[in-house]
């Protein structure tokens, strides 16, 4: 299929509506069979659960054109599972995993003209989401829900692509110890908006959130997990029950151990230790691995040895291996790459 005439290499991380999306409705205790639609708008009650009490969750994954010209998605089964976990925690009916995977196939296949060509630097971002659509006024779960999936072609999440960014230690908390930080609830992002706008106004690219209970340990950013590299080349990533279990991070841990032969530690990371690390990166579907050059803690600067010009050597190797697997240049572990039937 012929690709759309888009300036792929200059795309930012934004929303470009495409022709087709998937929608399924939950009513009377069951999901309907689902359908593709060209309608990019949603019409719901003024009192819908999502509008009153933020009953919504979402996922994010990407489709790629490989070196061999195939259209593939990366580990969609893990997004399907995580969305079930998110739904359960928010008292929403789970969207079945096999139906989630089928929706991804259908939406990517219907929009294959929007999957950026191999080597363009862009990807097709896939956004499955669901929300309470029926009216609720007392605080309780909705009775009806809608699951949708749309796609949009995207470039790098951070302006400047692979250039190291500067982040600040936030005075705001992202997630409470027994709250919703471990699921992909829209409300986690609503409450981070003031923190990110504040950080941007102060000239920072992102926030480093600390654990809300003690404010001594590193958690994550608003949209990505942390990876650190020690001076003796061990990869360290924070362990916490209030961070999102990033699929990219879990994949990079595997890549570090099995492809690069590196030691990996998933453990509590005291903020005090950050100044000892040689490299730092943010990992996620949108962020891929974005290098961090500097962390600022109330005016005190922590500058990583990797500097502000390029990725550190180990973060670069992790990036090259992961993107090589995603783009079909490096053999993937069993089950990581799902080819879209187009």
**Sites of contact with ligand COI (CB under 6 A):** 60, 223, 284-286
Smallest gap from Cβ 58 to ligand PLP, in A, equals 9
Q: How far is the CB of 3 from ligand COI (least distance, A)?
A: 23
With CB cut-offs between 5 and 8 Å by kind, which of ligand PLP, ligand COI, none does residue 108 bind? none
The nearer residue to ligand PLP, 103 or 286, going by C-beta atoms, is 286
Residue number, nearest CB to ligand PLP: 284
Q: Residue 82 or residue 106: which is nearer to ligand PLP going by CB?
A: 82
Considering the complex, state which of residue 20 and residue 154 has its C-beta at the smaller distance from ligand PLP: 154
Q: Is the CB of 188 or the CB of 240 nearer to ligand COI?
A: 188
CA 78 to chain centre: 12
Partner in contact with 195, chosen from ligand COI, ligand PLP, none, beta carbon below 5 to 8 Å by kind: none
Nearest distance from residue 68's CB to ligand COI, in Å?
25
Q: Which residue of the set 184, 231, 310, 317 is catalytic?
A: 184
CB closer to ligand COI out of 20 and 61? 61
Phi, psi of 231 (to 5 degrees): -65, -25
Least distance from ligand PLP to the Cβ atom of residue 171, Å: 18
Residue 219 interacting entry, from ligand PLP, ligand COI, none, C-beta within 5 to 8 Å by type: none
**Does residue 184 have an active-site annotation?**
yes
Q: d(Cα 235, Cα 181) in Å, to the nearest integer?
A: 23
State in angstroms the smallest separation of the CB of 75 from ligand PLP. 9
Could you say which of ligand COI, ligand PLP, none residue 225 binds, taking C-beta under 5 to 8 angstroms by partner kind?
A: ligand PLP
Encoded tokens for 261: 């032969």
Decide: 280 and 220 in contact? Cβ < 8 Å.
Answer: no
Nearer to ligand PLP, 133 or 285 (CB): 285
312 binds, among ligand PLP, ligand COI, none (CB under 5 to 8 A by kind): none
Residue appearing with tokens 């061999």:
68
Contacting residues toward ligand PLP, per CB under 6 A = 60, 220, 223-225, 244, 246-249, 284-285
Q: Least distance in Å: CB of 181 to ligand PLP?
A: 8
8 Å CB contact between 58 and 69:
no
Closest alpha carbon to 92 in 148, 125, 133, 46 = 133
Q: Any idea which residues carry the catalytic annotation?
A: 184
């Amino acid at each position: 299929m012929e690709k759309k005439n888009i300036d792929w290499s200059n795309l930012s991380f934004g929303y470009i509506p495409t022709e087709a999306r998937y929608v399924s409705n939950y009513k009377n205790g069951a999901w309907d069979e689902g359908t593709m639609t060209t309608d990019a708008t949603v019409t719901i009650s003024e009192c819908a659960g999502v509008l009153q009490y933020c009953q919504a969750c979402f996922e994010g994954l990407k489709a790629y054109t490989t070196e061999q010209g195939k259209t593939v998605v990366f580990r969609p089964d893990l997004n399907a599972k995580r969305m079930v976990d998110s739904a359960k925690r928010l008292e929403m009916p789970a969207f079945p995993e096999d139906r989630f995977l089928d929706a991804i196939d259908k939406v990517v296949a219907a929009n294959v003209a929007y999957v950026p060509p191999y080597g363009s630097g862009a990807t097709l971002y896939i956004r499955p989401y669901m929300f309470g659509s029926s009216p609720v006024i007392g605080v309780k779960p909705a009775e009806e829900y809608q699951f949708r999936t749309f796609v949009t072609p995207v470039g790098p999440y951070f302006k400047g692509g692979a250039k190291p960014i500067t982040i600040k230690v936030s005075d705001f908390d992202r997630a409470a110890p027994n709250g919703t930080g471990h699921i992909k609830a829209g409300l986690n992002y609503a409450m981070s908006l003031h923190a990110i706008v504040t950080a941007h106004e102060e000239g920072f690219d992102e926030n480093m959130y600390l654990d809300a209970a003690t404010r001594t340990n590193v958690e994550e950013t608003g949209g990505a997990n942390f990876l650190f590299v020690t001076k003796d080349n061990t990869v360290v990533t924070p362990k916490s029950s209030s961070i999102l279990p990033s699929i990219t991070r879990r994949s990079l841990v595997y890549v570090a151990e099995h492809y690069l032969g590196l030691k990996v530690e998933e453990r509590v990371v005291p903020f005090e230790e950050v100044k000892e690390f040689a490299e730092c990166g943010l990992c996620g579907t949108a962020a891929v691995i974005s290098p961090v050059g500097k962390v600022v803690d109330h005016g005190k600067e922590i500058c990583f040895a990797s500097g502000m010009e390029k990725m550190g050597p180990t973060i670069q190797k992790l990036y090259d291996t992961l993107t090589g697997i995603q783009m079909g240049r490096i053999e993937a572990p069993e089950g990581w790459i799902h080819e879209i039937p187009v």
